Amino acid sequence: QLQLQESGPGLVKPSETLSLTCTVSGDSISSSDYYWGWIRQAPGKGLEWIGSLQYSGRTFYNPSLESRVTILGDTSKNQFSLKMRSVTAADTAVYFCANTKGEPFYFDNWGQGTLATVSS
């Protein structure tokens, strides 16, 4: 059973970089056909897709966030990460990592989420 667990600092200062990691157990992030993604939910708001990492290393980003976001995979640790630069209070959210196999248009396996707060 594939399991995902988010981790990272709960508090980030405005204008700094938010860094989160998703640790995967149960399969390799480089296994064929997998897509690994980040989704967030700001307080009182809906879900927002941030971006996805294909098993090959190719990345895909939400156009509204693309200029500030980088998703990378680390096969040695079987993790993938999210870096979001120049954060503001509007980036305060619960961040979920998730994955799917085959089609990149949905996520059928999710982590529990981690709250990241942007505040000075």
Partner 1 sequence: QSALTQPRSVSGSPGQSITVPCSGTSSDIGAYNYVSWYQHHPGKAPKLILYDVSKRPSGVPARFSGSKSGNTASLTISGLQADDEANYYCCSYAGSYTFGLFGGGTKVTVL
Binding site for partner 1 (CB under 8 A): 35, 37, 39, 45-49, 52, 60, 62-63, 96, 98, 103-108, 110-113
Task: Between 16 and 61, name the residue whose CB sits nearer to partner 1.
Answer: 61
Nearest approach in angstroms of CB 90 to partner 1 is 15
Nearest approach in angstroms of CB 57 to partner 1 is 15
Phi, psi of 27 (to 5 degrees): -170, 170
DSSP classification of residue 90? G
Task: Between 39 and 116, name the residue whose CB sits nearer to partner 1.
Answer: 39
Q: Is 59 left (phi over 0), alpha (psi -120 to 50) or beta?
A: beta
Best CA proximity match to 49, nearest among 16, 98, 9, 87: 98
Q: Is 66 helix (H, G, I), strand (E, B) or coil?
A: helix
Task: Between 29 and 111, name the residue whose CB sits nearer to partner 1.
Answer: 111
Tokens of 25: 């157990």
Nearest approach in angstroms of CB 16 to partner 1 is 26
Task: Between 73 and 111, name the residue whose CB sits nearer to partner 1.
Answer: 111
